[in-house]
Each structure stands twice: as C-alpha cells, then as structure tokens.
Amino acid sequence: METVKDVNETNGQLTTDHLLTINDLTETELTDLIQEAIVLKQELKEGIPHPHLQGKTLGMIFEKSSTRTRVSFETGMLQLGGHALFLSSKDIQLGRGEPVSDTAKVLSRYVDGLMIRTFDHETIEEFARHATVPVINGLTDPHHPTQVLADLMTIYEYKGTFEGLKLCYIGDGNNNMTHSLLQGAALTGMNMTVSSPEGYQPDPGIFKEASIKASKKGADISFSTDPHEAVKDADIIVTDVWTSMGMEDETNERLTAFKPYQVNSKLAEHAKSDYLFLHCLPAHREEEVTAEIIDGPHSAVFDEAENRLHAQKALLKKIMKK
C-alpha cells in the first residue's frame, strides 16, 4: 500500500492515492494542506467559486453514524463542483457479505474517490489495497485523520504557529482522537501530554513512534495519570467523549474511571491564561467537559467543526485532482 512521501512540485498535489492516517503525510504536505484550506475558506466567505473537482464523484461508505463527517464531505464536494454519494453499509452489498476487495474494485469503476467511516482499521486498509481511486479515512477505531487536520488548522488559525506549543489531551488515551493527535503533534513539532487513568493509555506503538518523531524536532511527547500536572502551562486543551461508539456496554465503568478527568474551570486554571479548548463533538456537557468551558471564551469547538469542511476540501482537491 502506498503512503505519502513527498509533494509533487509541479502542481502541489499529494503523490499518493490514499490518506489512512496522519502518518501518511509529511510535514510539508500537512502545512500545504492547512494553507490550502485557509485559502478555500476565505474564497468561500468572499463568494469566489472554486470548482476544482468539476465532474468528480466521491463515494462515501458509512458503517458508523455521522453528522459532521457526512455533511462536511458532501457539502465540500458540492462546493468543489463535484458530487458525493452516501452509501450506508446496510444498503450496499457489503451488508450482505460481499468481500471488501470486490466492493473496492467495483466502486473504483464508478467513482473518483472513496471516503470510508468504519470500525476496524484493517477494513480501510483492505479497501486501499484493492481500490484504484483515492481512499480517505473518515474514521476508524484507532485513527481519525480528517478530524485532526481540522484541529491542526484551527490551532494554526488561533496561534499562528505550532512551534513551542503544548497540547494536552485529557480523557480516553486509547482512542482515535488521541492517536491521530499524537501523530499530528509529532509531525508539527508540538509538545503533547496525554492524561488518562491506568488502563486507558494510548497504543504503545503509536505513542513510541510519535515520541521518537517529536524528539527529532526538539518536542516532547509524554503521559501522566495526573490531569492537573499534565495540563500545566498548556496552550491547547483537548478532550473527547468518555465512551466511544461501540463501547456503550462500558459506559458505567468509564464514567467512574474518568470522573477525575473532567475538563472544568478548576483544571483549566493550570493551563496558560490564553489556552484554547477543542472537542471534536458531539460533546456530553457536565461529563467530559463542563458547559462553562465548552461554551466559554476559550472554546473554539464550532470553528473547529466548521474547519472540517475547509480542511477536507483541501484534501479532496489535492488527492482527487490528478
């Protein structure tokens, strides 16, 4: 399976067919995507059309429910001059046992790109092996690269740089947001601390790889079970729901384990005075975060949600315009 290695200097396009994790990007490519997203965002506000994908079609396969992913990709394709098809796994032959490889090969004959939101990361990897069109990971259990592209864009808009920043993620360390943020922090050279209870630490392989990459840029990746220590002098605080899709049977156990990890005003006192709060949404107010924080002056969650549209348009343009 191909991974992104460099940018095509002649047209700025990504040289791979697929984006499955943040690690499929180089630092240059990530920076280029963020800058492109900012341009597309400004053009949209000024009413400047940008039909870069005129006549192109994106197939969107959903095995997990979605609000932001579906609407942002569908709207993004429309604004780029193309079209998006919503394909529920229940409505296509995947739901009746057709092999992933056959579905990938068939859909590649009809559409110009595929976005998949599913559970197992192995599923999207198999799609990528057999598809002859670009495959984008809209979310899997261990990775959420399109959300983190929007997060990084939001951080850059607010802070103007990644250099020297400290990002603190508080909550479930072993989920897709934590893993993709670790990869994003390592790529941009941000410092990052994860704070979770014992038993909910990030995947050891992803954490180790991010630590090594970050250290080469002079940044630090760390873990702490003490959220007050972890959030000290943080520029960005990020959290997510305590119970992800597919883990509902663990809800009561998780509510108990994560109770000390709620992002509230007492915890946020340890961050920098101009800290930025992010959450990928949907949020459970008074659970992982208080209303005072998520609806307060430090919160950028709705800018972050809007940026899903712009960051994904940049990605679609660069990965599908070949």
Digit-coded pLDDT (tens) for 8-47: 333 455 545 799 999 999 999 999 999 999 999 999 999 9
29: domain CATH number is 3.40.50.1370
- pLDDT, tens digit, 9 for 90 and up, residues 180-207: 999 999 999 999 999 999 999 999 999 9
- Using CB atoms within 10 A of its CB, is residue 291 exposed (0-12), middle (13-18) or buried (19+)? exposed
Sign of CA dihedral 133, 139, 144, 148: positive
User: DSSP label at 91?
Assistant: T
145 belongs to an annotated ligand binding site: yes
Residues 177 and 267 occupy one common structural domain: yes
279 belongs to an annotated ligand binding site: no
Amino acid identity at 250: E
**Does 7 map to a domain?**
no
Residues 149 and 202 occupy one common structural domain: yes
pTM: 0.93
Residues 119 and 263 occupy one common structural domain: no
**Does 11 map to a domain?**
no
- Catalytic site residue from 18, 52, 143, 144: 144
- Catalytic site residue from 79, 147, 183, 262: 147
Query: What is the pLDDT averaged over residues 255-262?
Result: 97
Residues 159 and 254 occupy one common structural domain: yes
Are 74 and 86 contacting, i.e. CB atoms less than 8 angstroms apart? Answer: yes
Dump the DSSP string for 26-71: -HHHHHHHHHHHHHHHHHHHTT----TTTT-EEEEEESS--SHHHH
- Catalytic site residue from 24, 240, 279, 310: 240
93 belongs to an annotated ligand binding site: yes
Query: What is the pLDDT averaged over residues 216-226?
Result: 98
CB neighbour list of residue 244: distance below 8 Å, 6 or more residues apart? 141, 172, 175, 176
CB neighbour list of residue 273: distance below 8 Å, 6 or more residues apart? none
At 215 the pLDDT is 97
Residues 181 and 43 occupy one common structural domain: no
**Does 207 map to a domain?**
yes
Look over the chain and give the mean of its residue pLDDT values, rounded to a whole number.
93
Residues 153 and 291 occupy one common structural domain: yes
Query: What is the pLDDT averaged over residues 249-272?
Result: 96
Residues 149 and 139 occupy one common structural domain: no
Residues 153 and 41 occupy one common structural domain: no
**Does 158 map to a domain?**
yes
CB neighbour list of residue 288: distance below 8 Å, 6 or more residues apart? 171, 239, 240, 241, 242, 258, 261, 262, 263, 279
176 belongs to an annotated ligand binding site: yes
At 209 the pLDDT is 98
Catalytic, 280? Answer yes
pLDDT score of 96 more than 80: no
Boundaries of domain holding 237 = 145-304
pLDDT score of 165 more than 80: yes
Residues 40 and 69 occupy one common structural domain: yes
240 belongs to an annotated ligand binding site: yes
Least confident of 13-27, 58-72, 230-244: 13-27
At 2 the pLDDT is 37
At 8 the pLDDT is 36
Catalytic, 168? Answer no
Catalytic, 240? Answer yes
pLDDT score of 7 more than 50: no
Query: Please, what is the Cα angle at 58 between 139 and 184, to 5 degrees?
Result: 35
67 belongs to an annotated ligand binding site: yes
144 belongs to an annotated ligand binding site: yes
At 16 the pLDDT is 55
At 95 the pLDDT is 64
**Does 12 map to a domain?**
no
Residues 40 and 124 occupy one common structural domain: yes
238 band by pLDDT with thresholds 50, 70 and 90: very high
285 belongs to an annotated ligand binding site: no
6 band by pLDDT with thresholds 50, 70 and 90: very low
pLDDT score of 290 more than 90: yes
Residues 286 and 162 occupy one common structural domain: yes
Residues 62 and 116 occupy one common structural domain: yes
Query: What is the pLDDT averaged over residues 100-118?
Result: 96
**Does 115 map to a domain?**
yes
Q: Give dist(CA 200, CA 188) in Å, integer.
A: 25
Q: Give dist(CA 245, CA 37) in Å, integer.
A: 29
Are 259 and 296 contacting, i.e. CB atoms less than 8 angstroms apart? Answer: no
Catalytic, 117? Answer yes
Sheet with 135-139, strands from edge to edge, namely 18-19, 135-139, 113-117, 57-62, 83-88
- pLDDT, tens digit, 9 for 90 and up, residues 139-159: 999 999 999 999 999 999 999
- Catalytic site residue from 24, 32, 79, 117: 117
244 band by pLDDT with thresholds 50, 70 and 90: confident
- Catalytic site residue from 24, 168, 280, 310: 280
154 belongs to an annotated ligand binding site: no
- Catalytic site residue from 143, 254, 279, 308: 308
pLDDT score of 121 more than 80: yes
Q: Give dist(CA 118, CA 211) in Å, integer.
A: 27
Q: Give dist(CA 310, CA 146) in Å, integer.
A: 11
Total of domains in the chain:
2
Amino acid identity at 36: E
Percent of the chain with pLDDT over 70: 94
